[in-house]
Amino acid sequence: MHDHPPGCGCCPSGPGLTDPHAARAEGQVSLTLRLMCRDMAEMMAVLDHAPAHVEASRAEPGCLQFDLRQTDEPLVFDIAERFADIEAYRLHQARTRASDWGKATASIARAQYDRRGVTD
């Protein structure tokens, strides 16, 4: 479907996502969500930007887990994230909003959003 290297973070092959909530320790932030693309153009935006976004996210200080996988439904992607603390999570959110990924995927619907370890 796309020409990305193995382990790019967006391929449906391999094991499912590790539950970040189960691994979350006191003070950590975890979240899961689904990206629900409306059409092939949105799907391609996710696929085109996923490798760089996954790499940048995993390289952030305090990022303990960042997984993005295309499901068996090609227009649906699961995301699982875990951060060492609220500061690392907020820095990730700020970087994401300003990134090419953030701009390219801003209009894609999010569903099944489950965030833990954040009180506000």
Question: Could you tell me the residue ranges of all domains in the chain?
Answer: 32-115
- CB burial readout 4-24, b (16+ within 10 A) else e: eeeebbbbeeeeeeeebeeeb
Tell me which residue of 56, 54, 55 sits closest to 68, measured CA to CA. Answer: 54
Fold of 32-115: Alpha-Beta Plaits (3.30.70)
What is the per-residue pLDDT for 18? Answer: 86
Q: What is the pLDDT of residues 11-50, one digit of tens each?
A: 444 456 789 988 899 999 999 999 999 999 999 999 999 9
Task: Say what percent of the chain tops pLDDT 70.
Answer: 87
- The residue behind tokens 């590790």 is 18
Q: What is the pLDDT of residues 47-97, one digit of tens each?
A: 999 999 999 999 999 999 999 999 999 999 999 999 999 999 999 999 999
**Cα 103 from Cα 13, distance rounded (Å):** 27
